[in-house]
Chains A and B, each alone.
Chain A
Amino acid sequence: MTITDRPVNNGVNVEALLGAREALSAAPEAAEFTWRASCTWRNGTHSHSTVNGFTGLGAEQQHRTTFEYDVDHPECFASEDNGATPTEVVLVGLASCLTAGVAAVAQFRGIQLRSVTATIEGQMNVLGILGADPDIRNGFETVTVRFAIDADASREDLEALVAQSQKRSAVFDIVTNPTKVLVELA
């Protein structure tokens, strides 16, 4: 480990996060957030989604810009492959949530990161979604995430970092725990 006078900087504002934790504990209604996305069918399995507004801190909020996502299926599914599959978008959500958590926890614990790469895989037997085998579920059988981290820290510290990022991850919770989902016709 090199000794340096430079403060740890992973680009995470820990003071702001700790301040938010304190402020929101005192005003729990402001902690209620609603996240939104809108998805429009284009053609075949191709859809176009936008993300812009969300609710939180007791008010309507907006992203800096509207983010857009084309989602489709690959040609081997007889689709046009205009974008990642929905399942891959879920993997992106999980990996990016855990990675953000790694950075935040590292900042909080005074660990300087040099590089972090998460490689994520979800194993799925598509006989489930094809309706060909009722014993096979539609979703992932397992999801594996492998983190390659270059940082000023011991392996044990990095294991703790990765464990804590799972503990505090919204998407990890969404993927590992059942969630009530209501789908209705407008």
Chain B
Amino acid sequence: MMQTTAVVIGAGHAGLAMSRRLTDRSIDHVVLERGEVANSWRTQRWPSLRLLTPNWQTRLPGHPYAGDDPDGFMPAADLAAALTGYARRIGAPVRTATTVHAVRAASDGYQIQAGGDLLHARAVVAATGACNQPVIPEVAAAVPPPITTLTPLAYRNPGQLPDGGVLIVGASATGVQLAAEIHRSGRPVTLAAGEHVRLPRTYRGRDIFWWLEATGLLAERYDQMDDLTRARHLPSPQLTGTTPATMTDLNSLIAQGIRIVGRLGRITDGVAQFSGSLANTCALADLKMNRFLTRADEWATASGRSDELPPPHRFAPTHVDPRAPLELDLTSGEITTVLWATGFRPDHSWLDFPVRDRKGRIRHDGGVVTGAPGLYVLGLPVLRTRASTYIHGAADDTKALASHLHAYLKRS
């Protein structure tokens, strides 16, 4: 059995950042990767996807953005290339094409069954990502058979869909981006919107992520939040990484001709039924956006930056069509595709001991897995701060967890 001090599972941005931190501390380790570096960015993202964060913010430990388009947004393929370059530069000990089948508790650490090999390590870092599996609501089973259904993990471009109307369920970043792209292809889109997060792409001449960082919102810590469960389950904001900056909030989609309906509740006899609460979910999103813009304005004034920025303003409230249908007959032929943009979940099923809560989520305290000394998890939304959700959050997260891991090795 191969022996190593630490095993990092997953060679995405988080796993590579952790590798770099472990190398800095001279901790012997190996990074196990089921495919190649940045595998999910290569194989599970639609080609037009760009990061929500601007390039200047897309930084890794010891690796600030060095390209010539700091205000642009990286396509998935460019991020994959950047991560491959990063892995090479930091000399990450990545073993590609090595799927981890199981991690079990063993004496003085963990036994890892990877590919055909058994490894033993004193510490394990799960960096396999937050978006391994699509979350599909139970109502999916009631979609009538002639309709094509797919998830964003399988979506590549509108050309793979049949002609005809498309019902997109979910109005997070994924839902609004695919709604705009698919509607442009000539397939009329209906978007079912439940609770969502509305943000403008830019505000007062700056990208919204500049504001999220400047105001300190992204730095808010997990252990200082009123409602951590809610923070960890917020849908991603209705943003698209486009140059020049364009809004992809519901108002913008409506202006393109996309029909907005309420949250999909049930499908009965082939008829989809939507919630009548759309007006309130939109009101909540408008209120929340305006609260953040007020916070941004207050920060600008307090920090003396206000005068160098364009003046404050507010965006029009979300226009909810009072005639938005509550029902849509999926057997009429109008809708030929249903796309489930209803979120993703991580897959930690290979963790072969009880570290999950009743909903199957790994229990952890800022990435330190509860009841499993030496086991860590990375790359989950709001793992340690709100920035943890984004690429650059891995810098601080891996710094803290590498320090914890190092102390654990010395202690035990």
Q: Which residues of A contact B (CB under 8 A)?
A: 28, 142, 156, 159-160, 163-164, 166-167, 172-173, 175-178, 180
Give the secondary structure class of B's interface: mixed
Would you call B277 and A177 a contact (CB within 8 A)?
A: yes
Q: How far is the CB of A30 from chain B (nearest CB, A)?
A: 13
Would you call B277 and A172 a contact (CB within 8 A)?
A: yes
Which A residue sits closest to B227, measured CB to CB?
Answer: A21
Using Cβ atoms and an 8 Å threshold, which residues of chain A touch B263?
177
Question: How many residues of chain B are within 8 Å of chain A by beta carbon?
Answer: 18
Chain B residues 278 to 294 lying within 8 A of chain A, measured CB to CB, are 280, 283-284, 287, 290-291
CA distance A160 to B284 in the complex (A): 7
CA distance A163 to B277 in the complex (A): 10
CA distance A82 to B291 in the complex (A): 49
Residue from A142, A164, A176, A180 in contact with B275 in the complex, judged by beta carbons closer than 8 Å: A176
Give the secondary structure class of A's interface: helix
Would you call B276 and A175 a contact (CB within 8 A)?
A: yes
CA distance A166 to B287 in the complex (A): 14
CA distance A172 to B281 in the complex (A): 12
Using Cβ atoms and an 8 Å threshold, which residues of chain A touch B277?
166, 172-173, 176-177
Using Cβ atoms and an 8 Å threshold, which residues of chain B touch A28?
358
Using Cβ atoms and an 8 Å threshold, which residues of chain A touch B367?
none
CA distance A176 to B291 in the complex (A): 26
> 3 tightest CB-CB pairs across the interface, nearest first?
A176-B276, A178-B266, A176-B277
Using Cβ atoms and an 8 Å threshold, which residues of chain A touch B284?
163-164, 167
Q: How far is the CB of A46 from chain B (nearest CB, A)?
A: 30
Would you call A166 and B275 a contact (CB within 8 A)?
A: no
Contact A166/B266 with A156-B287, A156-B290, A176-B275 known, Cβ cut-off 8 Å? no
CB of B268 within 8 A of chain A? yes
Residue from A159, A172, A173, A175 in contact with B283 in the complex, judged by beta carbons closer than 8 Å: A159
Which B residue sits closest to A140, measured CB to CB?
Answer: B276
CB of B343 within 8 A of chain A? no
Q: How far is the CB of B270 from chain A (nearest CB, A)?
A: 14
CB of B251 within 8 A of chain A? no
CB of B265 within 8 A of chain A? yes
Q: How far is the CB of B174 from chain A (nearest CB, A)?
A: 23
Q: How far is the CB of B138 from chain A (nearest CB, A)?
A: 12
B239-278 interface code vs A (CB 8 A; 1 in, 0 out): 0000000000000000000000011011010000101110
Using Cβ atoms and an 8 Å threshold, which residues of chain A touch B262?
176
Would you call B280 and A167 a contact (CB within 8 A)?
A: yes
Using Cβ atoms and an 8 Å threshold, which residues of chain A touch B358?
28
